[in-house]
Amino acid sequence: MTDPRIRRIRPEDVDAVVELVYALAEFERAPDECHLEAPQLHKALFGPAPALFGHVAEVDGQVAGFTLWFLSFSTWRGSHGIYLEDLFVRAELRGSGLGKALLAALAAECVEQGYERLEWAVLNWNPAVGFYRALGALPQDEWTTYRLTNAPLKALASGS
């Protein structure tokens, strides 16, 4: 059953989602690392070849939470999956079921499209870890995420 508070993101939601992305960065103790601007998000979601997708949770006509996600691919399963880049619900609405409803919308997307995975990363100290485990999500402790950004990314690209 679809939760009526959850829907696909629309162009008019972009400003509110950007605001929530900044709130997420603050929550994750990294506000100085967030540089997202509304035109960037709008282009990623609604440009000629969108590779980013999203859902919002709406309460009393206001965007109260969101997910941003993209497709991944498992060579072992031979199937796409969803990689959840961000999930955020305003602090005052946590515990209201919005987070679960947002994840349920992504799980439904996986089932409807034949995708075999829904994956995401979470900071170890995030209290949501207990919530995710209660849903049956399991940490992948045997894998370590690596990331190239900034100067190291540019150096590798240039052959340095």
Confidence (pLDDT) at 96: 94
pLDDT of residue 1: 57
3-state helix, strand, coil in the chain (%, to 5): 40, 25, 40
Q: What is d(CA 102, CA 66) in angstroms, rounded to the nearest whole number?
A: 7
Q: What is the pLDDT of residues 101-126, one digit of tens each?
A: 999 999 999 999 999 999 999 999 99
Is residue 55 exposed (0-12), middle (13-18) or buried (19+ Cβ within 10 Å)? Answer: buried
Which of these, 119, 47, 7, lies nearest to 16 by C-alpha position?
7
pLDDT band (50, 70, 90) for residue 92:
very high
Q: For the whole model, what pTM was predicted?
A: 0.91
pLDDT at residue 144 greater than cutoff 90: no
Is the confidence at residue 153, as pLDDT, over 70? yes
pLDDT tens digits, one per residue of 33-84: 999 999 999 999 999 999 999 999 999 999 999 999 999 999 999 999 999 9
CA distance 20 to 9: 13
CB 116 within 8 A of CB 77: yes
Whole-number mean pLDDT of the chain? 94
Q: Do 83 and 119 contact (CB within 8 A), yes or no?
A: yes
